[in-house]
A and B are shown apart, each in its own frame.
With several copies, the nearest count.
Chain A
Amino acid sequence: MTTLTLGKALNEGLRKAMDDDPKVLIMGEDVGKLGGVFRITDGLQKDFGEERVIDTPLAESGIVGTAIGLALRGYRPVVEIQFDGFVFPAVDQIITQLAKMRMRSLGKVELPVVVRIPCGGGIGAVEHHSESPEVYFTHTAGLRVVACSNPADAYSMIQQSIASPDPVVFFEPKRRYWDKADVDTETADWTPLHAARVVRPGDDVTVLSYGPAVKTCLEAAVAAGEEGRSVEVIDLRSLNPLDIETVTASVHRTGRCVVVHEAAVFSGYGAELAARITERCFYRLEAPVLRVGGFSTPYPPSRIEDHYLPDLDRILDAVDRTFGW
């Protein structure tokens, strides 16, 4: 066990993957000497060389497109998108090429590409640096989409994603990069990549979340507990596939569910959760699945982002409402 920040855990996970497999490459803007603007690739170019840790031209479509080509040649590229808001120039390559190549080839082509995206708000940044674009990818068949929320998962999930023969979009909760926790770097006996995890058991209501909002949900659960309400918090970890079994088992028990994410609620990932859970647990639900998320607006200027992001009070408010239904 070592204590690592989430950022450092990712860095160690990447290093381990590169050590284990010489085909693993890192590509992106400023990933070399700088180690990325969040230092996630810090030191890797120094140790693995410029051929394996590649500072690319400033062009996201080019980065993902050439990563696909490298994967076709047998490499396993891990692509860094510098900020969530800059993944959009690459969306065409991700949606029309990366996601569909396997089907196009009737299974003959494998594209083990990982697209890392630091996501979410709360760091006081300017426009385009606080987006939560997960739905654009969860709706795209052929991609696997995961989101880590803590250092231990960051360490294991990045390695599992790199090992995946399918392309993976990997969301990193940027405002949690500096959170610290114990990480067991000795074991590889990890929770499966696509399994959700009950991070706090409870009996009265199920709160579902992923990525940066998980921590807020845990805080809300503690606060609710002080008021005598037993909140179960599930960290989904994987958005596509969704571990619906773990989710429905919980909601079957509690009969109430609140979904929390930073992305805008309208047409967001929470909609899929609500729709699917309702189908599965129709007779068990005491209230509709409620969604707490970003408002259905563009991300606001940072001075008021705390109002946009779901916070403890808004989560508790939704929990309360499920009881008052």
Chain B
Amino acid sequence: MTIDSVRGAPGDPGPAEPELVQLLTPEGQRVEHPDYPLELGADEVRALYRDLVTVRRIDLEAVALTRQGELGIWASLLGQEAAQIGSGRALGEHDMVFPTYREHGVAWCRDVDPLNLLGLFRGVNHGGWDPAKYGFHLYTIVIGSQTLHATGYAMGIQRDGVLGTPSAGATIAYFGDGATSQGDVNESFVFASVFNAPIVFFCQNNQWAISEPLEKQTRIPLYRRAQGYGFPGVRVDGNDVFACLAVTRKALEAARTGQGPTFIEAYTYRMGAHTTTDDPTRYRLKAEEEAWKLKDPIERVKAYLVRGDLADSAFFEEVEADAKAMARELRAACLALPDPEPLSIFENVYAEPHPLMTEEQEQFAAYLASFEEASR
């Protein structure tokens, strides 16, 4: 048979409980997977737990700040903490991350001050951190664009001749289930595979692209998209921080050693609204959300820690208190964020002098000054 026997039924995104790599069950039970051995010390698990709790708390605070009018909008990561912390903690010093607008957890792992993220959503700038400093590129809002930047960056790593050496890095491109339909994302698959670039495509399939369910983007499981381009695709339990860590680690290592791209589908769920302006009650059922609540990415780590006597209640309380304190500080810092100067509009458009920038800036400054004079 030459015709591929897999003729997926349209609108059928695969089995309800798809085969996926899992190392920690929703009940907190550790399971093994032959391809992904993982050994974690108690310290490491506790650190992961702390990460998960912290980024959820930051996220909660940001949602609250939005409700209070302090941010213009916020894209919540609620439910996707494990996908982000698992993959984020798999990253090494030389790796480079290309996020969307929702990777607050990965940003956390890269030491980007959450205040930066709040600044963007508050509208004081469009990002503004230094990607090179953190190994974490700017948030990208135009869906899919960053996957090409990541691929190009990976081609640059190749050209630097560092692959296979200790200073080898890989790139990791984050994107959503909806993004897989964009031309850019598919072109990045072409470039990455043709050049065998050191890149990991990390797709957080949170089942929704705003109001559109997965079946509006694909009729087969997303991880199989990679087959069409000749590189491996794997589906991982996106609510399992251990599995996300192990699978991403392996893919990054493959990339760094010259084995080319891997596509990871982190199967997870967007527990909240798309953004704070969205209203999911218009398009999805409460029951679906409830079902996913049972797979909460944090609860299962807690259960694992408790079950294995790896942490006591003092630890959990401390983590909670620390997160709370950090959120409080963050809130205060957010409220204190100064608005940019009006004349900064003309800055950073060009690196070198540009007469029109100078002209418009001078005219605008004179115009603004005329009010000050008038009000004097």
A residues adjacent to B (C-beta < 8 A): 25, 29-30, 32-35, 37, 51-52, 55-59, 61-62, 64-75, 85-86, 88-89, 92-93, 96-97, 100-110, 124-129, 141-142, 144, 164-166, 194, 240-245, 266, 295-298, 300-305, 307-308, 313-314, 317
Contact = CB atoms under 8 A, between A and B. Distances in A.
Contact of B148 (A30, A61, A300): A61
Contacts of A69: 148-156, 171
Interface in B108-126: 120-126
A37 B156 contact: no
B282 A73 contact: no
B210 A29 contact: yes
Given A30-B211, A125-B73, A266-B356, A107 B347 contact: yes
A303 B124 contact: yes
B355 to A, nearest CB: 5
Interface residues of B, number: 81
A116 to B, nearest CB: 17
A104 B138 contact: yes
Contact of A166 (B120, B140, B171, B350): B350
A73 B356 CA distance: 30
A295 B360 CA distance: 7
B142 A96 contact: yes
The interface centre, meaning the residue of A96, A105, A144 with most chain B CB atoms within 10 A of its CB, is: A105
B14 interface: no
Contact of B182 (A32, A89, A266, A308): A89
12 contacts: A57-B187, A59-B182, A65-B187, A67-B152, A75-B159, A86-B142, A89-B183, A126-B121, A126-B123, A164-B352, A301-B124, A307-B364
A51 B155 CA distance: 9
B211 A301 contact: no
Given A103-B126, A125-B72, A303 B145 contact: no
B148 A307 contact: no
Nearest to B154: A69
Contacts of A96: 142, 145
B130 interface: yes
A58 B356 contact: no
A305 B171 CA distance: 34
B179 A73 contact: no
Contacts of A56: 191, 216
B229 to A, nearest CB: 11
Interface of B: 72-73, 101, 120-132, 137-138, 140-143, 145, 147-160, 171, 178-179, 181-184, 187-188, 190-191, 194, 209-212, 216-217, 277-278, 282-283, 339-342, 344-352, 354-357, 360, 364, 367, 370-371
Contacts of A104: 126-128, 138
Among all A-B residue pairs, the 10 with the closest Cβ atoms: A69-B152, A65-B148, A73-B156, A66-B152, A302-B123, A34-B211, A57-B181, A62-B187, A58-B178, A165-B351
A65 B352 contact: no
A294 to B, nearest CB: 9
The interface centre, meaning the residue of A30, A51, A305, A308 with most chain B CB atoms within 10 A of its CB, is: A30
A55 B216 contact: yes
The interface centre, meaning the residue of A59, A61, A109 with most chain B CB atoms within 10 A of its CB, is: A59
A85 B142 contact: yes
The interface centre, meaning the residue of B141, B157, B171, B277 with most chain A CB atoms within 10 A of its CB, is: B141
Contacts of B187: 57, 59, 61-62, 65
A105 B131 contact: yes
A86 B141 CA distance: 10
A30 B367 CA distance: 43
Contacts of A308: 345
A35 B142 CA distance: 21
Contacts of B277: 37
Nearest to B72: A124
Given A62-B187, A166-B350, A296-B356, A106 B283 contact: no
Nearest to B122: A303
A313 B368 CA distance: 10
Nearest to B209: A58
B77 to A, nearest CB: 16
Given A72-B131, A102-B348, A32 B149 contact: no
Contacts of B367: 314, 317
B45 to A, nearest CB: 34
Contacts of A107: 347-348, 351
A128 B158 CA distance: 32
The interface centre, meaning the residue of A67, A74, A301 with most chain B CB atoms within 10 A of its CB, is: A301
Contact of A61 (B141, B183, B355, B360): B183
A66 B155 contact: yes
Contacts of A124: 72-73, 123
A55 B212 contact: yes
A121 to B, nearest CB: 11
Contact of A301 (B73, B126, B188, B354): B126
